């Protein structure tokens, strides 16, 4: 039975709408205030998320490379076959090109590695900011937060200024060691070389560490200082105090920082586009569009990672909620 065939439901909808427009009780007025506060966020979600995502998923199954026409699942099939072909156990009987499987794998392991390092460094910085009376703490906080305001392309150019063949630090270390700046530069190297990956790694950390740090500072504000002092009074070392007293209290913040950092790692585009190291998925999006204008394949890649990130976030937040309730 449809909504139009259900007069009781229609009556409730009309009654609810009437109470929102002309509230009669305090509960009705409270609902109207909530609805009024929610409307801007709903409009932003529709314009900035629902409509673009709908268009993206529709484009991923389009038969045309230049518009939305027809329906096909070839892009998703090619992605899944490529991912299966990249796995040694599964790919023995699959003739698909494993390039997309390699791209997805590189994106996941590189994003996971930079996430873990960023959160570990963020914990150390947040611990220092909250537990010690550091000189000029306001200036330190400003400097740490500065990278958050920079787009990925600017971050990439900063890495080039410092670590390219003509970079400041590259030439400084070349002068100390007598090496050729071209041999030790972290940018301009072939994409799969260790130096190129290290340059991209530093670019990711520069963008991700501040985000993890400031989320963790909020968790440190809720830490029970009396419990830490009691542990130290009982003879616990600083490491034991952190591991058994502080870390369990900031664990929800750590999980939240992991979620935020990993999502940031998957979303970084400008840094990969400029540095062009390690064929991670963001660079592959650009490749699919600029080389043959393969928008359906690029949209399928984006859709695949959107679903993965959504599921990852949902499961992680459920874990965080369980930790908080415990």
Helical axes 247-267 vs 194-220, angle rounded to 10°: 140
- The residues, ordered by sequence, that sit 6+ positions from 9 with a Cβ below 8 Å of its Cβ are 3
CA angle (270, 275, 280) in 5-degree steps: 75
Alpha carbons 288 and 308: distance in angstroms, whole number:
20
Q: Say yes or no: domain 102-325 is CATH 3.30.70.270.
A: no
Alpha carbons 63 and 58: distance in angstroms, whole number:
10
Identify the pLDDT of residue 122: 93
In the structure encoding, which two tokens stand for residue 148, read together? 């958050």
- Label residues 204-242 b or e (16+ Cβ within 10 Å = b): bbbbbbbbbbbbbbebbeebeeeebeebeeeebeeeebb
Alpha carbons 22 and 232: distance in angstroms, whole number:
60
Could you tell me the end-to-end alpha-carbon distance of the chain, in angstroms, rounded to an integer? 43
Alpha carbons 275 and 154: distance in angstroms, whole number:
11
In the structure encoding, which two tokens stand for residue 300, read together? 């399928």
- Burial of 159 per CB tally in 10 Å (0-12, 13-18, 19+): buried
Among the listed residues 144, 281, 307, the one whose alpha carbon sits nearest the alpha carbon of residue 215? 144
Identify the pLDDT of residue 304: 84
Identify the pLDDT of residue 213: 92
Residue ranges of the chain assigned to CATH 1.10.3720.10:
102-325
- Residue identified by tokens 């790694």 is 201
pTM summary value: 0.75
- The residues, ordered by sequence, that sit 6+ positions from 269 with a Cβ below 8 Å of its Cβ are 152, 282, 285, 286
Which of the 8 DSSP states describes residue 278?
Answer: S
Identify the pLDDT of residue 324: 46
Mean pLDDT by 10 residues, the chain (326 residues): 56 67 73 78 84 87 80 84 70 62 83 93 90 83 84 84 88 88 83 83 90 88 85 88 88 88 82 73 64 76 84 76 49
Q: How many CA atoms lie within 13 A of 307 on its CB side?
A: 9
- What is the per-residue DSSP string for 187-256? SSS-TTSHHHHHHHHHHHHHHHHHHHHHHHHHHHTT--HHHHHHHHHTT--HHHHIIIIIHHHHHHHHHH
- The residues, ordered by sequence, that sit 6+ positions from 274 with a Cβ below 8 Å of its Cβ are 152, 153, 156, 157, 160
In the structure encoding, which two tokens stand for residue 267, read together? 């979303």
Alpha carbons 303 and 283: distance in angstroms, whole number:
15
């Amino acid at each position: 039975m449809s909504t139009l065939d259900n007069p009781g439901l229609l009556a409730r909808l009309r009654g609810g709408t009437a109470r929102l427009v002309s509230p009669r009780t305090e509960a009705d007025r409270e609902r109207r205030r909530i609805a009024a506060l929610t409307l801007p966020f709903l409009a932003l979600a529709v314009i900035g998320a629902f409509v673009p995502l709908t268009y993206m998923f529709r484009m991923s199954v389009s038969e045309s490379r230049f518009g939305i026409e027809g329906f096909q699942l070839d892009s998703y099939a090619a992605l899944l076959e490529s991912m299966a072909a990249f796995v040694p156990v599964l790919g023995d009987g699959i003739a698909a090109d494993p390039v997309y499987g390699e791209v997805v794998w590189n994106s996941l392991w590189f994003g996971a590695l930079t996430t873990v390092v960023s959160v570990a460094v963020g914990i150390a910085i947040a611990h220092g900011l909250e537990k010690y009376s550091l000189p000029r703490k306001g200036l330190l906080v400003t400097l740490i937060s500065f990278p958050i305001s920079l787009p990925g392309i600017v971050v990439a150019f900063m890495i080039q200024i410092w670590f390219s063949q003509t970079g400041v630090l590259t030439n400084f270390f070349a002068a100390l060691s007598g090496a050729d700046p071209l041999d030790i530069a972290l940018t301009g190297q072939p994409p799969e070389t260790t130096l190129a990956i290290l340059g991209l790694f530093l670019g990711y950390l520069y963008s991700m560490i501040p985000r993890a740090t400031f989320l963790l500072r909020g968790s440190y504000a809720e830490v029970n200082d009396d419990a830490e002092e009691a542990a130290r009074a009982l003879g616990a070392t600083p490491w034991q105090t952190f591991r058994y007293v502080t870390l369990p209290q900031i664990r929800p913040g750590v999980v939240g920082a992991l979620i935020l950092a990993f999502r940031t790692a998957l979303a970084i585009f400008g840094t990969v586009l400029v540095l062009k190291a390690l064929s991670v998925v963001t660079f592959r999006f650009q490749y699919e569009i600029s080389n043959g204008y393969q928008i359906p394949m690029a949209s399928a890649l984006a859709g695949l990672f959107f679903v993965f990130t959504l599921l990852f976030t949902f499961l992680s937040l459920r874990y965080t909620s369980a930790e908080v309730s415990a």
